[in-house]
Chain A
Amino acid sequence: MFALIGLIIGALIALLLRPTVPADMTRYVAMGVVAAVDASFGGIRAYVEQTFNDRVFVLAFVSNAVVAAGLVWLGDQLAVDLTTAVVVVFGIRIFQNLAALRRRLFGG
């Protein structure tokens, strides 16, 4: 619930401020978003499982985003498309977290 409210608030702020992402930065920002989504789901899961640690969460949130963007950047420097790798890894993790949440909430 609070996560949903936060999402809407953030979206509203963005709509109001209209931040423009430089064209050559969009790829990195996109990876950062994916990482942040993953961290958010991880946080929700930990919260539901009563193992939420704010330091771990903040660290995971920031470092995931930074590492994801950094990895894509590194891939670009090496002329290797690492976007797929980041998307696959975080995608799997998002689904795992979702699955765990589902089990926990609805007793899978």
Chain B
Amino acid sequence: MTAPLSAPPGILDRMRRGVGAPVLLALAAAVVGFLLVGQLQGARPDAPTLEAESEGDLARILADLNAEADALQNEIAELKVQLGELRRFSRDETAAAEAAAEQLRSLQVLAGTTPVTGSGIVVTVSDPNALLTYDTMIDIVQELRDAGAEAVAVNGIRIGVATAFAEREGKVVVDGQVVSPPYRIMAIGQPATLEGGLKIPGGAVDAVSTVKGVRVSVEKQARVDLPALTRVPEFDVAEPVPPKT
């Protein structure tokens, strides 16, 4: 209970009387309680487990984690490359499939295995005396093909790659089927070009028109429907040679 000489006694007395020991002790206890609870509530997630490790173990753990992170990074990079490759493949395959479908369409039209429709011309050859022979037909079809006909039919018989014209008992035979006049030759292609090709001076139409009684009329049509081949050609002997890469 010794008052320091430096402090004025009056203030100290008042302080001593105003703030008693119980109050101070209670205050101190309050601070302790506050800090204790704060400390207990201070979330310490996984720090203790790491703090418990020795320096060497920590270094090992760190190295492990680094290695794992590197491995995962590598995996990400690899998967990205793979993803890119797969995307490229799928794009290529889509393009290849489209090209194949396109080629299939062209070949079907060319081979005559599917019915086709489009703009074209209809050539009607009336031959009341039945003087025309099968080679006239060949001439006309050849003329049409030369003019860019994509598909041709004679009297409803589609002319395919393996179609043959022949003659039997003075009648024209197409693929074994007899056709008789008047002949209706339908061709799909650019109508104007086809007509121009047929009517070229000295061409098939000119030649045919000189035959007695034969009349040729050519009509351009916006829509010509051709049937498919009745018999799909079969290839038993010919084998495709794989393209050299």
Contacts and interface: CB of A to CB of B under 8 A. Distances in A.
Interface of A: 2-11, 13-15, 18-23, 26, 29-30, 32-33, 36-37, 39-40, 43-44, 46-47, 51-55, 57-58, 61
B238 interface: no
Contact of B30 (A10, A15, A43): A10
Contacts of B23: 2
Given A36-B32, A36-B35, A40-B32, A21 B25 contact: no
Interface residues of B, number: 30
Interface of B: 1, 4, 15-16, 19-39, 41-44, 47
Contacts of A3: 25-26, 28-29
B28 A47 contact: no
Decide if the interface of chain B is mainly helix, strand, loop or mixed.
helix
B25 A14 contact: no
A61 B24 CA distance: 10
Nearest to B30: A10
Contacts, number: 115
Given A21-B42, A23-B42, A26-B44, A61 B28 contact: yes
B39 A10 contact: no
A10 B33 contact: yes
Given A23-B42, A32-B35, A6 B47 contact: no
Q: Which 5 pairs across A and B sit closest by C-beta, in order of nearness?
A: A10-B33, A6-B26, A10-B30, A6-B29, A14-B37
B27 A29 contact: no
6 contacts: A2-B22, A11-B34, A11-B36, A14-B37, A47-B21, A55-B4
Contact of A54 (B16, B35, B38, B43): B16
Find the residue from B23, B24, B33, B41 having the highest chain A CB count within 10 A.
B33
A29 B44 CA distance: 14
A55 B20 CA distance: 11
Contacts of A47: 21-22, 25
A33 B30 CA distance: 11
